[in-house]
Structure 1
Amino acid sequence: MSNEKKRMTTASGAPVGDNQNSITAGNRGPTLIQDVHLLEKLAHFNRERVPERVVHAKGAGAHGYFEVTNDLSKYTKADFLSEVGKRTPMFIRFSTVAGELGSADTVRDPRGFAVKFYTEEGNYDLVGNNTPIFFIRDAIKFPDFIHTQKRNPKTHLKDKNAVWDFWSLSPESLHQITYLHGDRGIPATFRHMNGYGSHTFKWVNDKGEAFWVKYHFISEQGVKGLDEDVAGQIAGDNPDYHVEDLYNSIDKGDFPAWKLYVQIMPYEDAKTYRFDPFDVTKVWSQKDYPRIEVGRMVLDRNPENYFAEVEQAAFSPGNFVPGIEASPDKMLQGRLFGYSDAHRYRIGANHQELPINRPVNEVNNNQFDGQMRYSNGSGSVNYEPNSYDTEPKEDPASKISPFEVYGEADSVSYDSDDHYTQAGDLYRLMSADEKDRLIDAFVGHMKPVDKDEIKLRQIEHFYKADPEWGERIAKGLGLSVPEGVK
């Protein structure tokens, strides 16, 4: 091996003669514009940061593998799930949702759980959270929801009035905010939390038979949360606590792992199930659809370069492979566009050519040019169909499996507005101590809200889910449950 030292160069490959002193007119200057190395360094420095993600800005990532442990080929023709023992390389990014790139890890917030499987049929992205549900069920409300979680445009401060005003006017959020204010609302580490696809997806087997499916990643490390006071202290002492924990764990060979399970619903069941199976604010009962083991995910390698691998990692729930398709879930339908479009804005139209996002199989399409493009193919015919019998050509066998649609085109809600049954069930499942902590978290979060109107509206939702719950929140806030609700 050569011991020759690497010579510093400019971006164009020219050697740099002096990296300590700029070229000046004499000892006192001024600096000469001919110092192209200086100009290149300053210009590149000004452009070293890409826009942070609008949501999920702060996060950590790791490489690993997914190994199939159960044959589910009767449900899906997805090749990476085709045989027991098959391993697929993958990359995962964990994140907080509302905070900025420099925010603290140990805040009460959902955690992103985004997995990229580098399959032989293309990249499959499963972009979920550490909760099985979400705050809203229609993507048209997503920008408004996130505006309430971000900073007030006038004060540039976090705004609990906006948070609770929106939630109290959006009762479908009750189920998710109950998870958020419970013991799982502040994970102890990224390793000690479960992950969920949250949405319903469609699996299709090699016979063309379709099934509805939900994903559950269950932590082999167990699920642990942080006490709110401890979390607040850590946020001040070490705001990168979760990022550091994941890196150090893998670095010392303590590789975190998750078992992947799915709930599978026969296609026809969706038409009669007691909850709309495509409403992401609802779960499927595990008594009705027990979890079935699929495989095991292990994280065993840290990134070599955070920016190249974690910051530029681009996930989209629209990245499917044959055998896995979208469902009519309205929130999912909006995300199919929104995520890829965010990456096109943030890191460019050719973001999928970056090494961390590049599929392991060959990419063939007629997308040409754009910023940072470096592979435009070798042919001159970049359209299809054409008279020159050139490739690539469409593959009819890869068309989606059809599903029925109903009704008239209109702006409509889901059929059911029962936002209280599952949230109330979740409350009643909690132990007495868990309920106490939940009440304390809600009361502490709601006290700063300056309008009793907003508090009372939210108390109504708690009361409708469980009268005891509503009464306890009202008492904690020094208010009474509105008479018209009892």
Structure 2
Amino acid sequence: MSNNDRKNKGEMSSRNVDENSKNKQLEEFREDPTDQFLTTDQGVRVNHVDDSLKAGSRGPTLMEDFLFRERMTHLDHESIPERVVHARGSGAHGFFQPYDDSMKEFTKAKFLTTPDVKTPVFVRFSTVVGSRGSADTVRDVRGFATKFYTEEGNYDLVGNNIPVFFIHDSIKFPDLVHAIKPMPDNEMPQASAAHDTFWDFASLMPETTHMLLWVLSDRAIPRSFRMMEGFGVHTFRFINAAGKATFVKFHWRPLLGTHSLVWDEAQKLNGKDPDWLRRDLWEAIDMGDHVEFELAVQLVPEEDELKYNFDLLDSTKIIPEELVPLRPIGKMTLNRNPDNFFAETEQVAFHPGNLVPGIDVTNDPLLQGRLFSYVDTQLNRFNSANFAEIPINRPVVPVHNQQGAGFMRQTINKGKVNYWPNSLGEGNPKLATEEEGAFVHHQEKVEGHKIRARSESFKDHFSQATLFWNSITEPEKKHLVEAIHFELGKVETIAIRERMVANFYKVSPELAQRAAEGLGIEVRQDIEVESTGNYESDKAAGKISKGKSVKESPAVSMEIGKKETAKTRKVAILLEDGFNYDEVMAVKQALQNEGAQAKIVSKVFKKLKSTSGEEIEVDKSHVTTGSIMFDAVYVPGGMASVEAMKKQGEALHFLNEAFKHCKTIGASREGVDLINATSLTGVHVAEEATADIVSEKGVVTARAAASIEDFATSFVAAIKKHRHWEREEKAMVPA
């Protein structure tokens, strides 16, 4: 079935039972303040909140001022502890719909097998290391957590934008978090791994190597949450109606493709707009550019568990798509922003153990630990076991339990019975059978001695890191090496740098040499770091060592097979008074036809007048924006406009910086003269005498004789390439 066929099948659905069920439930808790009187918490109307109750206008505040005490008490108690990790997040509502019922062969989960049902979802994207007040565009893993409000109860798919993790076993998670968080003596640096303690830990833990290469790649600085893949990380199980299990890996694939920032761009955005990613998500949904992800799975029959040269239970490994192709099974659409950040995005509570019939966990030791830690951290944050009763966490199906007490209890349980079995309540609420929809754990025979050890099949720490390095393009390798130079360049202890480069040598001698050149050290092959785990030989390890493998996996590269689209891309049009109105309108229309957004950028906010007298509003000033906030730049003709911008350092810097970051630049007629006034090197532009449109390394130019419509077509085609990395080879631009 083609992508279009799947899409059409989903859109032609006749049943819409669940799509609005969560919205309707939340309506009970929403309040519209329009035409309402301000009241106390008890509903008493208030007529004055600017002054406390005092003994005389200059006297002391009186204890009897219950209004002051109520308002201040609320403020003092409004915060809850932030998450230990994933503290800074952004959320959105939407729905998920399967393409067809083909997954019935593998799982009895109804929300994955019933194509005429739209299951409501809430998704929270997040950074991992930083605090709630940190910036969005730091180099970090991004969380991608989805809560499905299904007909059978809530299911949480709690993942990241990177398909592997640093460690094998959750018992090392406290060490990892302590090492990567700001150093305990001075609480620096914030939201960054670029310090001695993290790289000391990483260099002594070879199992982190594969994940480190993903984090050092451009995957860790996404262009947008809307252009970011998501992964379930762990291997889970599907269980079908007959009780047969199949191993499954979950993948979220953005329909806009996977794209990143460049490091210089990310650092500048931290200062210009530290809310860049959350603002981008909010504004896209607000404008009607709904965010779409395709859910795909990799399926491995239970009998093939030991078929590959890696352990399916090892979260530091991927299943290369060349060995197990992805099967698209449905689409998620995010179409509504939260009404209240705290009540929804901040209070949503995820747990990988929130499962529904048809999905179960495996013996992955990292996943097993998360089944404990997620509940435990929510208990700390909410100071109550009743956090599932908060509106954003509440299932759309009825909840019947015997837990009638505790902080924040919302349900008023009737009757005398809060235990089971019982006769006084006639056995209610009763137990369900598997046929009646009860969750039943997959029956797996498990035997072994109690031992603090892991299988030898987990001991290969470098082969998939090598696979990653071999699979990415040269521009991606260049950026990864530059990230090493930045991260390890911040490490003051030379021995840690040397140890880390020695680990990189086991991945690739080329990688190690390129890393060492920027760190002022020699590649030392004599440094041997022992694995810290206690590995025990077993039969599984012997079989896995002879299993299937690949040397490369192009699917891990963002550049190979990238989607060429201009949809939702942001284009800056640089203008001053005296611009060519027809050119601006023609290019804006061409961009709009492709789903791109054009913004007018000028020195100051005002109405600009064209050569023919039309006026246009300025959207952004040079003070409030920069090229880093756009995907492309266009300079239209108009002698007066161009001459004014030639005298503006901000306009020239705008173009220089966009060129440095390999973005598409377009100019028509006199606009080409502004490009000639910049420091752009290594590209040819249209000459006065030519009628041709010149497009070279993402710089598209046309002089007076060229058609503006043809120019716009070439300009949009260049935008669809996203970046023009060939500029990085020789470009020397002061920006």
Matched to 1:393, the amino acid is K
State the alpha-carbon separation in 1 of the partners of residues 394 and 155 from structure 2. Answer: 11
Please point out which of 362, 370, 384 is paired with 2:420. Answer: 384
Return 394-403 or 335-344, whichever deviates more: 394-403
Counterpart of 1:156 in structure 2 is 187
Contact 2:254 2:292 in 1 (8 A): yes
Counterpart of 1:359 in structure 2 is 395
Q: Does 1:227 align with 2:258?
A: no
Matched to 2:479, the amino acid is R
Q: Does 1:83 align with 2:83?
A: no
Matched to 1:166, the amino acid is F
Counterpart of 2:221 in structure 1 is 186
Where in structure 2 are the equivalents of 1:83-482 lying within 5 Å?
83-158=114-189, 160-347=195-382, 348-388=384-424, 389-397=426-434, 398-416=439-457, 417-482=459-524
CA displacement at 1:86 relative to structure 2: 2.3
State the alpha-carbon separation in 2 of the partners of residues 465 and 379 from structure 1. Answer: 65
State the alpha-carbon separation in 2 of the partners of residues 167 and 244 from structure 1. Answer: 33
CA displacement at 1:273 relative to structure 2: 2.9
Query: Structure 2 vs 1, CA of residues 485 and 32 (structure 1 numbering), >3 Å: closer, same or farther?
Result: closer
CA displacement at 1:82 relative to structure 2: 2.1
Matched to 1:235, the amino acid is N
Higher RCO (CA-CA < 8 Å; seq separation 6+): 1
Contact 2:296 2:326 in 1 (8 A): yes
CA displacement at 1:387 relative to structure 2: 3.2
Contact 1:279 1:414 in 2 (8 A): no
Contact 1:381 1:390 in 2 (8 A): no
CA displacement at 1:396 relative to structure 2: 4.2
SS of equivalent to 1:72: helix
1:181-236: per-residue Cα shift (whole Å, max 9, x none)? 11212000111110111111111000000011000000101111111011000000
Superposition RMSD on alpha carbons, in Å? 1.5
State the alpha-carbon separation in 2 of the partners of residues 445 and 210 from structure 1. Answer: 43
Q: Does 1:44 align with 2:107?
A: no
State the alpha-carbon separation in 2 of the partners of residues 470 and 404 from structure 1. Answer: 44
Query: Structure 2 vs 1, CA of residues 146 and 483 (structure 1 numbering), >3 Å: closer, same or farther?
Result: closer
Return 82-91 or 247-256, whichever deviates more: 82-91
Matched to 2:221, the amino acid is I
CA displacement at 1:357 relative to structure 2: 0.4
SS of equivalent to 1:66: strand
Contact 1:107 1:235 in 2 (8 A): yes
Contact 1:115 1:126 in 2 (8 A): yes
SS of equivalent to 2:283: helix
SS of equivalent to 1:297: strand
Return 447-456 or 390-399, whichever deviates more: 390-399
TM-score, length-scaled by structure 2: 0.64
State the alpha-carbon separation in 2 of the partners of residues 393 and 63 from structure 1. Answer: 33
> Unpaired segments of 5 or more residues in structure 1?
none
SS of equivalent to 1:191: helix
CA displacement at 1:260 relative to structure 2: 0.5
Counterpart of 1:66 in structure 2 is 96
State the alpha-carbon separation in 1 of the partners of residues 49 and 421 from structure 2. Answer: 54
SS of equivalent to 1:427: helix
Return 98-107 or 343-352, whichever deviates more: 343-352
Contact 1:109 1:185 in 2 (8 A): yes
State the alpha-carbon separation in 2 of the partners of residues 17 and 302 from structure 1. Answer: 33
CA displacement at 1:293 relative to structure 2: 1.1
CA displacement at 1:381 relative to structure 2: 1.1
1:151-208: per-residue Cα shift (whole Å, max 9, x none)? 2111111261011011111111111110111121200011111011111111100000
Counterpart of 2:57 in structure 1 is 27
Q: Does 1:9 align with 2:31?
A: no
Query: Structure 2 vs 1, CA of residues 220 and 471 (structure 1 numbering), >3 Å: closer, same or farther?
Result: same
State the alpha-carbon separation in 2 of the partners of residues 440 and 78 from structure 1. Answer: 45
1:16-41: per-residue Cα shift (whole Å, max 9, x none)? 23212211112212111111010010
Matched to 1:123, the amino acid is N
State the alpha-carbon separation in 2 of the partners of residues 414 and 160 from structure 1. Answer: 32
Matched to 1:359, the amino acid is P
Contact 1:63 1:91 in 2 (8 A): yes
Matched to 1:407, the amino acid is G
State the alpha-carbon separation in 2 of the partners of residues 17 and 447 from structure 1. Answer: 60
SS of equivalent to 2:46: coil
State the alpha-carbon separation in 2 of the partners of residues 439 and 74 from structure 1. Answer: 45
CA displacement at 1:485 relative to structure 2: 5.9
| TM superposition outliers: structure 1 runs of 4+ over 6 Å | none
Contact 2:85 2:128 in 1 (8 A): yes
State the alpha-carbon separation in 2 of the partners of residues 149 and 394 from structure 1. Answer: 45
Matched to 2:148, the amino acid is F
SS of equivalent to 2:332: strand
Matched to 2:142, the amino acid is R
1:374-401: per-residue Cα shift (whole Å, max 9, x none)? 2142121111122333212333423211
SS of equivalent to 1:166: helix
Contact 1:369 1:376 in 2 (8 A): no
Return 147-156 or 308-317, whichever deviates more: 147-156
State the alpha-carbon separation in 2 of the partners of residues 369 and 450 from structure 1. Answer: 53
SS of equivalent to 1:11: coil
Contact 2:505 2:525 in 1 (8 A): no
Matched to 2:392, the amino acid is I
CA displacement at 1:73 relative to structure 2: 0.6
Q: Does 1:56 align with 2:86?
A: yes
CA displacement at 1:10 relative to structure 2: 0.8
CA displacement at 1:4 relative to structure 2: 9.2
